[in-house]
Amino acid sequence: MKLNKIFFVTLFCILAVIPLQSSDKLLFSSVQNSGFSKFAFDVMSKAYKNIGIEIAIKPMPGKRALVASNKGEKVDGELFRISGIEKTYTNLVPVKVALHKSQWMVYTKNKEFQVKGWQSLKPYKIGIRRGIATTTKGTQGMQTVLVNNNEQLFKMLDSNRVDIIVISKINGKKYFDASTYKDVKLLETPVSVIPVYHFLHKKNIHLLPKITKAMKELESKKIIEEMKKE
């Protein structure tokens, strides 16, 4: 009788754990109002679903999202960021399958010049978005004006408060309206091209092999590329 009781208690404990495993859910911080977020979320949702995990995102201002994901107290990592942020935010671990190669573009109104890397922007007053690591690092030591969102960047350029702005190609396409900003133009050469990865907080390092494998499968089957086209 005693052995039967132990058996049923053990069986109950095992069964109680199973639904918890199948309903695992992770929360990732993400850059607020980013044109890239939906694509990144769709790809990562598919990848995590393939390893039995559901995900959600918490949009935040750029810098706050990084601080939150690096702390790892309320979120499990960062939906997407550029390669290299792990050098500063050392609790974040990249999943080394690129979601995208982010092209950073220059928009101008009155200036004509050849874009040859970040240093070619030095003579100009530059508008950038607060909390975005790529432009913050790339324009370090230059004359910059910071704003909170991408729409403000174009308004600031159009009103001649800056000479140029730097924004990712995806966000530029989303927020630039040629009918509204008739004198604003895109300089065709990217100032920088950087891989974009999904990042886990190190508390979830045990998931790295599984999610990397899932992402490689999506990549090899051209699913990421097809979703990007959509």
Domains 15-101+195-229 and 102-193 belong to one CATH topology: yes
pLDDT in tens, 68-124: 999 999 999 999 998 999 999 999 999 999 999 989 999 999 999 999 999 999 999
The topology (CATH level 3) of 102-193 is D-Maltodextrin-Binding Protein; domain 2 (3.40.190)
pLDDT in tens, 218-228: 999 999 999 98
% of the chain exceeding 90 in pLDDT = 74
User: Across the chain, what does the average pLDDT equal?
Assistant: 89
Rounded mean pLDDT, 43-64 = 95
Of residues 133 and 138, which shows the higher confidence score?
138
Q: Is the pTM of this model over 0.75?
A: no
DSSP state of 223: H
Of residues 213 and 14, which shows the higher confidence score?
213
Burial (CB count <10 Å: 0-12, 13-18, 19+), residue 183: exposed
CATH tag for 15-101+195-229 (out of 3.30.420.40, 3.40.50.620, 3.40.718.10, 3.40.190.10)? 3.40.190.10
Report whether 34 contacts 6 (CB < 8 A).
no
Is it the case that residue 53 has pLDDT exceeding 80? yes
The pLDDT of residue 23: 45
Is it the case that residue 173 has pLDDT exceeding 60? yes
Is it the case that residue 161 has pLDDT exceeding 70? yes
**Per-residue burial over 95-107, b = 16 or more CB atoms within 10 Å of its CB, e = otherwise:** bebbbbebebbbb
Rounded mean pLDDT, 114-139 = 95
Task: Give the pLDDT band of residue 35 (cuts 50, 70, 90).
Answer: confident
pLDDT in tens, 177-208: 888 899 999 999 999 999 999 999 999 999 99
The pLDDT of residue 143: 97
The pLDDT of residue 72: 96
Is it the case that residue 36 has pLDDT exceeding 60? yes
SS percent in the chain: helix, strand, coil, step 5: 45, 30, 30
Q: Residue ranges per domain, the chain?
A: 15-101+195-229, 102-193
Question: Is the Cα torsion angle 191, 196, 202, 208 positive or negative in sign?
Answer: negative
Q: State how far the Cα of 206 lies from the Cα of 100, in Å rounded to an integer.
A: 24
The pLDDT of residue 12: 41
Classified as helix, coil or strand, 114 is coil
The pLDDT of residue 14: 44
Classified as helix, coil or strand, 201 is strand
